[in-house]
Structures are given as C-alpha cells and as structure tokens.
Amino acid sequence: MPQECIFCKISAKEIPVPVIYEDEYIIAFPDIKPAAPVHVLVIPKKHIANLLELTSDDIMLMGHVLSTIPKIATKLGLAEDGFRLVVNTKDNGGQTVHHLHWHILGGRFMTWPPG
C-alpha cells in the first residue's frame, strides 16, 4: 500500500474510524467532512487509485461493492427516501483521496446538476 494513503491506513486500522460496515473486502465509515446529513464512504480494502485503475481481477470485488451498498444504505435508513452514490474520479471529477471510494449521500434532497 502507498505509505501516505489515508484510506489504506483506515482499512489497516492504523487510523481508527467508526465502522459502519466491514467485511473481508470492504469497509464503510462516515466522511470526516459530511456534505449531507448522512455521508458515508465505502472503500475496498485493496488499494486501487481510481476507477481507471480497475483490472479484470477486480470484477468480483466491484460486484461485491455495488451489491453491498444498498444493504449499507438500508442500514443507514436511506432506503425509503433514497440516496446518491458518487465516485469522484481524478481532477475533473473532484477526487481528493486517491484510493477508490464510493460516497453514499442521503438525508436530504440532492440537486442536479452537481457543482
């Protein structure tokens, strides 16, 4: 893992976070600077910089992430009113942490288009 990667440190438990969901492959925790009443990050434990770095080895992992996110959202109370799922990718996408992650945003109405 890249030594300076904050999300690798979180997944390795070097930096403690309130764990919302965890299994062998992924971990979910609250965003430190929430942009909505509910703002949870879901990350693979494996370091992948962004969506563009995915390989065929990651297909099962991606299926696992996307099939687990609705369960996490339900646990967060977002199933009835819905939520937004965001994957910022590189500079134009607004990515600031270069370890692949999904933002689950909920608890308020989300406007479109995004800023």
Which of the residues are catalytic? 101
8 binds Zn ion per the rule CB under 5 A: yes
Judged by CB under 6 A, the chain residues 40 through 59 that form the site for ligand 5GP are 41
| HEC-encoded secondary structure of 8-40 | HHHHCCCCCCCCCEECCCEEEEECCCCCCCEEE
Q: Does 48 bind Zn ion (CB under 5 A)?
A: no
**H/E segment holding residue 85:** strand 83-86
Part of the chain binding ligand 5GP (CB under 6 A), chosen from 23-31, 58-66, 69-77, 104-112: 23-31
Least CB distance to Zn ion at residue 37 (A): 27
Q: Does 6 bind ligand 5GP (CB under 6 A)?
A: yes
Residues facing 104 on adjacent strands = 40, 85
What tokens does 100 get?
């692949």
Q: How many CB atoms lie within 10 A of CB 71?
A: 11
* Residues near Zn ion (CB under 5 A): 5, 7-8, 47, 99
* Residues near ligand 5GP (CB under 6 A): 6, 17, 29-33, 41, 88, 94-97
